[in-house]
Amino acid sequence: MSKGRFGEFGGQYISETLMNELIKLEEAYEHYKNDPEFNAELTKLLNEYAGRPSLLYYAEKMTKDLGGAKIYLKREDLNHTGSHKINNVLGQALLAKKMGKTRLIAETGAGQHGVATATAAALLGMECEIFMGKEDTVRQALNVYRMELLGAKVNAVTTGTMTLKDAVNDAMREWSNRCDDTHYCLGSVMGPHPFPTIVRDFQSVISKEAREQILAIEGKLPAAVLACVGGGSNAIGTFYNFINDEGVELIGCEAGGKGVDTPETAATMATGTLGIFHGMKSYFCQDEYGQIAPVYSISAGLDYPGVGPEHAYLRDSGRAKYVPITDDEAVEAFEYLSKVEGIIPAIESSHAIAQVMKIAKNYSPDQSIICCVSGRGDKDVAAIARYRGVDLHD
Amino acid sequence: MINKIAKAFENPNKKAFIAFITAGDPDADSTVKFILEMAKAGADLIEVGIPFSDPTAEGVVIQEANIRSLANGMTTDGAFDIVRRVRETCDIPICFMTYANPVYHYGYDRFFTKCEELGVDGIIVPDMPYEEKAEMEGPANAHNVSVISMIAPTSESRIQMIAKEANGFIYVVSSMGVTGVRSEIKTDIDSIVKSIKEVTDVPCAIGFGISKPEQAADMASKADGAIVGSAIVRIVAEHGKDSAPYLYDYVKSMKDAVANV
């Protein structure tokens, strides 16, 4: 079995042109992850620029309203740039800079990872180019302009379904065209090794903090930890330091779209089968001939036909469970958290909130659950208004 | 069944010309006709592309051919049927070119059993590098199908490691990036081929970016053959079902160019 495996999942299914680049990246990462100077620099960026540690907020009104477990929200939405994406991006950008790279490229779905990458590039003085499906540039026009403000060039991808998967395709094509000065700042725990490991390590700061915070507040571990899952970066970050805590349930919430019994879904765990795509062996939504399916979700960030290999492993080993949440449920949760707690969550994160709303009452008040609010929802306001039939004018 | 790839490279005085075509673009009947026409025009080996929804190693021309072909209903079984019909009259060496997922999903053993039955000699899978090839190569070799190794401009220290285990032929990628027509090829092909030849007798063919007879002659002079994909697919995109005579003329001009270097 090749490197970078989580059980049978993972691997390096990528063109020969990129193999030496991946090997160099792995070597650089293995070196710098133990380098005190690198870690000091990264910690400084995370704390003084991105605003870490993020709060673990006790959602008291929500807790009372739902009845059952005490609900804690891990506020990744409060990070600079408004989502968890900055954790990974600062790590990778710093690593790329140490490797002598002068240019960052990245894919983006909702635009959160693109904004984070453009931000890190601006801060570290690097060139930046973002690949975004044309469909998503329309859904998330504000984030396109935001990336341009930050000095990035945004390429609207017009192939395939014109969403996240196609953005990844074009970012990979661009990287294989130009890798000597360019680092592909992959935004999720997917792709070929070493990306699933690097991104997980940089995102694991979420659960490192959350675990310390909950122990300090509650004096014991939570009963459950929840996060939304597209590729799975905020989820793996939220789960990682709880994986060895056997009593803690890990629940990933994927995009059910219009329902897992319809073709308009992006619920890979519920509907996908084993396959090889985007550099990894994992579960994918695909047809009987292994053609990747055109997936759908109201959330551009979860609108991806695969899932990171470590999640596939956590699911099959029984350590984590994954549930689909429909568009309707996510929109209700989006509105609920806004009204009850005064927190407008990203539509992605709303998938996890929706599951909290379903299960909170199954626990007793002396138990707690942690839900990651992976991003803030400002970017989604126009889309939710449209979903509710409200016509917004500037 | 004897693996026929060696036949494509057997004449030491004439370099090989390898032609790629996407199965089912614009339809299966046309692909059968085009393969036979290109064989008649002197192609030494045909690469038949099984379309994939997300061909990440392809440039725009072949991406669009994949989309057209899938939209027209082409499938892996459809591609097998094209080969079956070609084999009724023609024994030109044939390799499939596709991505890991269609083969993996079909089932390696089932896929290569069919290849053997129909006389498919090799398979080229751009997202199956040296480190991952074992899972496919075992079942492929058991059915006498060669998994073609690719070597890229960035392979450097990996060249000889890959070449030592290569069989069929070695696909030398001329340029960075994806497939597609290029006006200039800057890679130092000579040193890559020299490094390969130090460790293996498996023939080398150069692909990516070649479209003109002069380019093909230049590339073939540095190795054992030249591979052309996008330029052929572009002819099909332009002329559709009526492409056969254009393909004949083009392939003949390219074969003449590489045969005389």
Residue A380 has pLDDT above 80, yes or no: yes
pLDDT of residue A141: 87
The predicted-structure confidence for A108-138, as pLDDT tens digits, reads as follows 988 999 999 999 999 999 999 999 999 899 8
The predicted-structure confidence for A26-81, as pLDDT tens digits, reads as follows 999 999 999 999 999 999 999 999 999 999 999 999 999 999 999 999 999 999 99
Residue B5 covered by a domain: no
Residue B3 covered by a domain: no
Cβ A346 vs Cβ A112: under 8 Å: yes
Query: Which of A85, A101, A165, A379 is the catalytic position?
Result: A85
pLDDT of residue A140: 85
Phi, psi (rounded to 5 degrees) for B26? -85, -15
The predicted-structure confidence for A241-276, as pLDDT tens digits, reads as follows 999 999 999 999 999 999 999 999 999 999 999 999
- Is A107 catalytic? The answer is yes
Least confident of A136-150, B15-29, B162-176: A136-150
Query: Long-range contacts: A382-388, Cβ < 8 Å, 24+?
Result: A382/A142, A383/A139, A383/A298, A383/A347, A384/A331, A384/A334, A384/A335, A384/A347, A387/A298, A387/A327, A387/A331, A388/A331
pLDDT of residue B255: 97
Residue of chain B with shortest Cα separation from A157? B60
Residue B4 covered by a domain: no
Which residues constitute the domain of residue B47?
A: 15-254
Four-residue CA torsion sign, B76, B78, B81, B86 = negative
Cβ A6 vs Cβ A312: under 8 Å: yes
Residue of chain A with shortest Cα separation from B129? A16
B201 Cβ contact list (under 8 Å, min separation 6): none
Q: Write out the two tokens for A354.
A: 């929706």
* Cross-chain Cβ contact B178/A20 below 8 Å: no
Residue B194 covered by a domain: yes
Cβ A82 vs Cβ A48: under 8 Å: no
Structural domain count of chain B: 1
Query: Which of A26, A76, A107, A341 is the catalytic position?
Result: A107
Helix (H, G, I), strand (E, B) or coil at A254: strand
Q: Write out the two tokens for A379.
A: 């970017």
Phi, psi (rounded to 5 degrees) for A132? -140, 130
The yes/no answer to whether this complex scores an ipTM above 0.90 is: yes
CATH code, residues A51-82+203-387: 3.40.50.1100
- Is A246 catalytic? The answer is no
> Would you identify the CATH topology of the domain A5-46+85-199?
Rossmann fold (3.40.50)
Cβ A83 vs Cβ A77: under 8 Å: yes
* Direct distance between the N- and C-terminal alpha carbons of chain B, in angstroms, rounded to an integer: 32
Task: Give start and end residues of each alpha helix (H) in A204-294.
Answer: 205-218, 233-239, 268-271
Residue B242 covered by a domain: yes
Across the beta sheet with A368-373, what order do the strands follow? Answer: A56-58, A70-75, A368-373, A224-229, A249-257, A320-326
Residue B259 covered by a domain: no
pLDDT of residue B185: 80
Q: Give the whole-angstrom CA distance, residue A377 versus residue A379.
A: 5
Domain range summary for chain A, segments of one domain joined by +: 5-46+85-199, 51-82+203-387
Q: Identify the CATH number of the domain in which residue B236 sits.
A: 3.20.20.70
CB contacts < 8 A, A to B, total 118
Q: Rounded to a whole number, what is the distance in Å from the CA of B214 to chain A's nearest CA?
A: 24
Task: Give start and end residues of each alpha helix (H) in chain A.
Answer: 16-32, 36-44, 60-66, 85-98, 112-124, 134-139, 141-149, 164-177, 195-203, 205-218, 233-239, 268-271, 309-316, 327-341, 347-359, 381-387
Residue B7 covered by a domain: no
- Is A374 catalytic? The answer is yes
Listed residue (A239, A172, A174, A173) closest to A200, CA to CA: A239
Cβ B229 vs Cβ B62: under 8 Å: yes
Q: What is the mean pLDDT of the segment spanning A347-370?
A: 98
**Which residues of A fall within a CB distance of 8 Å from B53?**
160, 291-292
pLDDT of residue B184: 81
Q: Give the whole-angstrom CA distance, residue A174 versus residue A231.
A: 20
Residue B84 has pLDDT above 60, yes or no: yes
| Percent of chain A at pLDDT exceeding 70 | 99
Least confident of A178-182, B110-114, B183-187: B183-187
| pLDDT confidence bin for A187, thresholds 50/70/90 | very high
Residue B1 has pLDDT above 70, yes or no: no
Give yes or no on whether A5-46+85-199 and A51-82+203-387 have one common fold: yes
pLDDT of residue A314: 98
Using the Cβ of B22 and the Cβ atoms of chain A, whether some distance falls under 8 Å is answered with: no
Q: What is the mean pLDDT of the segment spanning A2-31?
A: 96
Residue B244 covered by a domain: yes
pLDDT of residue B105: 98
Q: What is the mean pLDDT of the segment spanning A283-300?
A: 95
Q: Give the whole-angstrom CA distance, residue B219 versus residue A312.
A: 44
The predicted-structure confidence for B215-231, as pLDDT tens digits, reads as follows 999 999 999 999 999 99
Residue of chain B with shortest Cα separation from A171? B56
pLDDT of residue A394: 56
The predicted-structure confidence for B63-75, as pLDDT tens digits, reads as follows 999 999 999 999 9
